[in-house]
Amino acid sequence: MTQGIRHMVIFNLKHPEGSPEAEKFLRDGEEILTSIPVVRNFGVYRQCSVKNDYDYGFSMEFASQEEYDLYNNHPLHTAFVQERWLVEVERFLEIDFERM
């Protein structure tokens, strides 16, 4: 049985780093995704390491695989992906960990 899932995505935007457009994307992403009831411990991050070349990150937790699936298929999430993510994100890496 899953003890919880940490879902993270690191990404670069098509907008210049720190631009008003980039900041709006990050704010909107947090506002939209945290309005989905199963999302816990959401965080928005700016890269500070020279060891990789991604600029930003979103991180969140889910209590179970079922909650993660609810999030993944939630209309707010799918709309955000279609209307914003696919339009404004240049590249990304998604990472999902189960808690041990």
The predicted-structure confidence for 61-95, as pLDDT tens digits, reads as follows 999 999 999 999 999 999 999 999 999 999 999 99
Percentage, residues of the chain above pLDDT 90: 92
Instruction: Print the domain residue range for 13.
Output: 5-98
Nearest Cα residue to 61 out of 88, 40, 30? 40
**What confidence tier does 2 reach under pLDDT thresholds 50, 70, 90?**
low
| CA–CA gap between residue 6 and residue 95 (Å, rounded) | 8
The two tokens of residue 77 are 């999430």
Cα separation, 9 vs 26, in Å, equals 12
Domain count, the chain: 1
Q: For the whole model, what pTM was predicted?
A: 0.92
Mean pLDDT of all residues in 19-33: 98
CATH, residue 81: 3.30.70.100
* pLDDT for position 1: 44
Question: With 80 as the cut, is the pLDDT of residue 38 above it?
Answer: yes
